[in-house]
Copies of this chain bind each other. A is one copy, B any other.
């Protein structure tokens, strides 16, 4: 069972993946050979290569764990967290730890062996987003979980391993992650002071300024954030205030699919298909507590953060949390705005 350990100073949680236990000689630089499509466990027709599916969007009449699906969610075969067992929070002297209980799922985005989400049609991407929504709503029913993180590692330098078949990952956690808490606290502080959502203010300033605006269409904006940590960092936000991704209608998800495809494609052609990560930043689950009224609905605003992995993070960043970005977001936004095929 993996262990969750909490740093006693910062309060940061670490997953000690005890069952992967790496010995020194296993850290030789791997060349990340990616498996060809005939061996790919995520392609249509290879359903038996993965554990039994958790959920799928499939044609009427098509049977579970067979072909005929568009988007398919399966358990990770190298899970970081285990879905069975109790949390068992316990001390170890001055330290805190608990069992690594959680969920680690893989969302396969297409039955075809495509390498990148932007190769899909908006209607197909929309189904991927519908699967995100469905999984978030489904996992909310388990009160063990405080947070669901959905993310993607694209390309070897992003941390992706194995098949290049385009997929997302989902992790449900028994504790709200530190950086999410930082975001929630910051947004709440702003709201307490201004009585306005900081993300809404940001969107309205960016639409006015135009310099960091990449796209503005169908109720969504894509921007290069003012304090971008990384070159070509891009956020996609809904213009209407909402804390919860899971409250999006099908129509809203289709509009999001269109802008998401366009942004990913612009990043691909501008930076020659760079490795990247994206993460869905959403509010944690709110469980009603007597006498407590959460303000997250009004002060938090869900969004997607896309981070191309172009620079090495060095000692300075690790030491300080002070990032160095060699590309001003105004220039990144201009390149992405003007990016065109051919």
Contacts and interface: CB of A to CB of B under 8 A. Distances in A.
Interface of A: 3, 5-18, 20-24, 27-28, 80, 92-95, 147, 149, 151-153, 157-160, 169, 171, 173, 177-180, 182-183, 186-187, 190, 198-199, 201-202, 205, 208-209, 225-229, 231-232, 270-272, 274, 277-279, 281, 305, 307, 310-316, 318-329, 331, 335
14 contacts: A9-B187, A13-B227, A15-B325, A16-B228, A16-B325, A17-B325, A22-B327, A24-B335, A95-B226, A158-B315, A159-B313, A159-B316, A171-B316, A277-B318
A234 to B, nearest CB: 13
Contact of A11 (B186, B272, B320): B186
A18 B183 CA distance: 26
Contacts of A93: 205, 208-209
Given A151-B319, A320-B180, A326-B22, A92 B27 contact: no
Contacts of A305: 319
Contacts of A171: 316
A177, A209, A328 interface centre (most CB from chain B within 10 Å) = A328
Contact of A321 (B177, B202, B278, B329): B177
Q: Determine how many copies of this chain the complex contains.
A: 2
Where chain A touches its partner, the secondary structure class is mixed
Nearest to A18: B328
B315 A198 contact: no
A263 to B, nearest CB: 15
Contacts of A326: 17, 20-22
Given A179-B320, A231-B22, A319-B151, A14 B312 contact: no
Given A190-B9, A209-B93, A320-B180, A315 B14 contact: no
A62 B172 CA distance: 63
Contacts of A279: 315, 318-320
A165 to B, nearest CB: 16
B322 A5 contact: no
B153 A227 contact: no
B315 A5 contact: no
Given A94-B198, A322-B173, A328-B21, A315 B11 contact: no
